[in-house]
Chains A and B, each alone.
Chain A
């Protein structure tokens, strides 16, 4: 028996304040994509779906699990999990990682009909700070059964992909001397140093479709990279190698401040990167909130007023950010909030490979390594790490670190070659 559920797409007017716009002199739009079947969004070359949507004022593209709150992009670099949309019949795609193309059909997910009376607002308003799903409507039994049925219907995010476009796929297996994971400045520097002595090293960056490394499989003896459904062509590439360099950098962290989940709240780090990569500028009132030293630095870099998180009572807004409320009672109108918190080392792949991590104040769980850059690990390869993922701060320091570790890898490769 099939359970019916409300229409996925909203017909209400979206947030109409465009929060970004193209800079003067930017390329003109090459076409439009459509959101929810009727909102026309101009697309510029080199834009992501998120970039295009934010320029058109579409901020909220899904609803959260329990409290049914509007959700939209936050980290702007593929890590936070709340920019997921349906694109051309494929569910749960990261809008911030997909290149916007004219003619695309983008659909929000898990949204209910909006309007003057939105049942989701009732849930959000009625339930207090504590939605205890372990004990919610536990008794009597018939109510519990009904609650479970409703919960199931409201759960989940994407709907099944549209037939009959089941993707085709290929698998390629390669033997290489070294794999550098992460194409930021440290990774590029490491790769350059390694490439001085060998032609068979590879640099894998997840922004390149098919090069997203998802697993270090010691048992299978391979590094595995693949595709996430962005285009119709699915690929798996496995690499056999003797050396793996983790240069995966850092990602934004969430800051503990009330209202931090409103669409329009972005990580300062991600916001700056998006504006630069897509040649955009802010088109609405924006502020920076964060740990004082970080907020000051980002405020200066983005040329925005900044506030220490200790001085902020909450970020206000219904469907998206409308203002921030300070503890001293002042209310500052804003449609964009840039959060400035210490970033997190993207250490998952290193940890998969067995590298130890240690908690640091400034990058969370950073990968530990010896003075040569080697990480103690198990597996049919030597694991190395360089750059921000190990706690190195600053662009120049990351480049130097990448060069240093890459040279050490190159040395190791030469020594291995000499022995054989």
Chain B
């Protein structure tokens, strides 16, 4: 057997005494930024992950990738991201199982219909091939769907699903090839501002100096932020999800029942992967709870059977949960922290960060390396939270 390598990170990856950028958090965002940054610059980069790669939201989500959003900047960002997804497997050197089977958003009332009709128009203006579909069209796309009570749907055949863990490993591998040090099973106990940059103390007793730090810890970002006196309003929310027994392929698109917040797709392995918005809200707070409930299973089962009656006879294989890092206005929190500009936020993606990671990694890397601005960075600026509450600009956040 060959000796272990550090291609996917290891608890004993040697760390230099000093780096230009220390990225804390080995999820898809942190690793995407690391990979892009290492590709376009000669900055010294380290990624520190307190558990195994993708142990957080990156390893727990359903892998959905869509350009069907309700806000033009989100649509444009995802058009870019999906384009990157198309050849990402070859670029990263690992199968990502990206399948563009489409997304089908289904509406059951006038509010949902209005939201979809408006968003379809916005998407088409930006070049997306999204179409409004009637009941007959819905049944052609997914014969198993019951269109009773369904008003209309929106369909984009270029949306799809991907295998989340592979993406994370791919970014890690590629980043490591470009010289990024990836250290796993190591936590950061303290970050102290120093004259030029920061000093990180690690759980192993090691110390690491970094000119800049990127907080890519998602739902756990508050802990590190507060230790530096940074107070940002994003909060963790638990979202549950389940997979079914494996079935031969029958469901091409990922279906979203917008009115109840249900989503269901079929993975390449044949399992249905599905989740739903819980009516009483989701566990919220600073303690990340990654447990699961029977209430979720029951609520989802009713909604799923109504949408696809054949599911009544299918079986649940496993349920789990993952954290949404929820920002009050639904927009990510990315950029220099208020008061501590060398400490850079890469959080607040409110349950849709995974699909954005390819495009965001590129944008943030260009900003870190060359100070290149991008309109989305202005919008996502962490300093925007002073003053009155901001309204959500995006209305198609699901799950």
Contact = CB atoms under 8 A, between A and B. Distances in A.
B249 A3 contact: yes
A152 B99 contact: yes
A1 B310 contact: no
B93 A135 contact: yes
B270 interface: yes
Contacts of B95: 133-136, 138, 144, 148
A138 B247 contact: no
B94 A138 contact: yes
A161 B293 contact: no
A313 interface: no
B114 interface: no
A148 B313 contact: no
Contact of B90 (A110, A141, A153, A217): A141
B293 A217 contact: yes
B246 A229 contact: no
Nearest to A149: B99
B310 A5 contact: no
A156 B310 contact: no
Contact of A161 (B97, B166, B249, B310): B310
A155 interface: yes
Contacts of A136: 95
Contacts of A139: 90
A159 B247 contact: yes
A167 B90 CA distance: 45
Contact of B268 (A110, A155, A222, A224): A155
Interface in B163-202: 166, 169
A91 B247 CA distance: 8
Contacts of A5: 248-249
A243 interface: no
Interface string A227-258: 01100001010100000000000000000000
A157 interface: yes
B1 interface: no
B95 to A, nearest CB: 6
Nearest to A228: B315
B304 to A, nearest CB: 12
B290 interface: no
Contacts of A167: 312-313
Contacts of A234: 312
A90 interface: yes
B87 interface: yes
A160 B144 contact: yes
Contacts of A217: 292-294
A151 interface: yes
Contacts of B269: 65, 155-156
A92 interface: yes
Contact of A158 (B169, B248, B312): B248
Interface string B254-284: 0000000000000011100000000000000
Nearest to B314: A161
B310 A219 contact: no
A215 B294 contact: yes
A220 interface: yes
B285 interface: no
B318 to A, nearest CB: 11
Contacts of A222: 294
Q: Give the most central of B90, B99, B248, B252: most A CB within 10 Å.
A: B248
A166 interface: yes
Interface string B294-326: 110010000001000110111100000000000
Contacts of A238: 294
A105 to B, nearest CB: 15
A21 to B, nearest CB: 33
B249 A138 contact: no
Contact of A156 (B169, B247, B291): B247
A163 interface: yes
Contacts of A159: 247-248, 250
B314 A152 contact: no
Given A92-B245, A144-B89, A222-B294, A157 B313 contact: no
Contacts of B89: 138, 141, 144
A136 B89 CA distance: 11
Contacts of B249: 3, 5, 152-153, 155-156
Contacts of A144: 89-90, 95
Contacts of B247: 91-92, 156-160
Contacts of B305: 166
Q: Give the most central of A2, A3, A138, A160: most B CB within 10 Å.
A: A160
Contacts of B144: 160
A161 B313 contact: yes
Contact of A135 (B94, B248, B313): B94
Interface of B: 87, 89-90, 93-95, 97, 99, 144, 166, 169, 245-250, 252, 268-270, 291-295, 298, 305, 309-310, 312-315
Given A91-B313, A139-B90, A156-B270, 9 more contacts: A3-B249, A91-B245, A155-B246, A155-B249, A157-B245, A165-B313, A219-B292, A234-B312, A238-B294
25 contacts: A91-B313, A91-B314, A134-B166, A139-B90, A141-B90, A144-B90, A148-B95, A148-B99, A151-B268, A152-B249, A155-B268, A156-B246, A156-B249, A158-B245, A160-B247, A167-B312, A219-B291, A219-B293, A219-B295, A220-B293, A220-B295, A222-B294, A228-B315, A229-B315, A234-B312
